[in-house]
């Protein structure tokens, strides 16, 4: 049986930040000498394929998941802790691929200058007059 490779300091930092931030590119940029987001994404893919890193990432993810479950279960149901408990549950759902649907309401607001408003009002009046002249014949 082959000996398990010892992770480097950079790999350990990547694993820690990857779990904490849930963003592999940012984790690479914090722990390796790269400023390019594209290079960081490519590096993250390569590093996550390393067998010893893969095992450590899975173990760290399980530990973080178990810690969140324990924290959630020990919180009381008062208002502040209920909000934390709700956030933990949402994070757990997100990690399990069950992120709740996010709804965004958009409203369009048109802002007109005073000149534009006057021209618009004049155009409406002209159209009404034209309609009035056309219907009386």
Q: Band the pLDDT of 3: cuts 50, 70, 90.
A: low
- Mean of all residue pLDDT scores within the chain: 79
pLDDT at 46 over 90: yes
Q: What share of the chain is helix, strand, coil (3-state, %, to 5)?
A: 70, 0, 30
Its pTM stands at: 0.51
CA distance 102 to 110: 26
* pLDDT grade for 99, boundaries at 50, 70 and 90: low
Q: Reply yes or no on whether the pLDDT at 6 is more than 80.
A: yes
Higher-scoring residue by pLDDT: 118, 137: 118
Torsion sign over Cα 68, 59, 16, 41: negative
- Is it the case that residue 100 has pLDDT exceeding 60? no
Predicted pLDDT of residue 129: 86
């Amino acid at each position: 049986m082959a000996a398990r490779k010892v992770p480097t300091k950079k790999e350990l930092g990547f694993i820690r930040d990857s779990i904490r931030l849930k963003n592999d590119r940012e984790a690479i940029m914090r722990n390796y000498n790269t400023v390019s987001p594209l290079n960081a994404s490519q590096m993250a893919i390569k590093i996550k394929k390393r067998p010893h890193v893969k095992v450590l990432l899975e173990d760290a993810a399980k530990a973080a998941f178990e810690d969140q479950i324990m924290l959630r279960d020990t919180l009381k149901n008062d208002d502040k802790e209920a909000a934390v408990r709700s956030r933990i549950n949402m994070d757990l759902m997100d990690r399990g691929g069950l992120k709740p649907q996010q709804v965004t309401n958009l409203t369009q607001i048109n802002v007109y200058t005073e000149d534009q408003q006057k021209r618009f009002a004049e155009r409406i009046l002209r159209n009404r007059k034209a309609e009035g002249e056309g219907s009386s014949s």
